[in-house]
Amino acid sequence: MTYDFPKLTLQQIRDITMGVYQLKQAPRYTESHLSDDNYMLQTCRDRPNLLRVKLTSRHSSSRVYSLWIEFSGDEVTGWYCTCKVGARVVGCCAHIASTMWYLGYSRWELETPSMCKYADSILNAKDVPLETDSDSDSDGFIEE
């Protein structure tokens, strides 16, 4: 991965979530999405500091949420999720928390229980050829 998502401490994530509930959910939530191949991470061609992730709901597999996380340097500067609580002004939803936990904390740890096996399955968007057929997504995001 060459995009520069910031390395975060658990305290930094707690400060964003405004509590511990979402942070406690993050490892299981992330692992369930990675093990089901339901973790779609996309980067924006024009704004490499903006990520979009699509996650299925824990409660309804037919519901897919889109979330965006913006970062700059060593900090997360903004976030939004399409779930019911995703537009919070204070704190963030479990979808945002699990994504920040995985990209900003877990992937930097030498050993994360049962998660290390997935680190090699993440691709860099610059290494994925652009789709040119009419079925490709034309919203400026490259799917990883």
pLDDT in tens, 20-46: 888 888 888 788 777 666 677 888 889
Contact 58, 93 (CB under 8 A): no
Q: The tokens of 122 are what?
A: 């993440």
Contact 33, 122 (CB under 8 A): no
Tell me whether residue 144 is in a domain. Answer: no
Domain extent, residue 62, equals: 10-122
Number of domains in the chain: 1
Contact 24, 101 (CB under 8 A): no
The pTM assigned to this predicted structure is 0.70
Residue 140 has pLDDT above 70, yes or no: no
Report d(CA 124, CA 2) in Å as an integer. 7
Tell me whether residue 118 is in a domain. Answer: yes
Tell me whether residue 3 is in a domain. Answer: no
User: Who's near 117: CB < 8 A, 6+ residues apart?
Assistant: none
Tell me whether residue 5 is in a domain. Answer: no
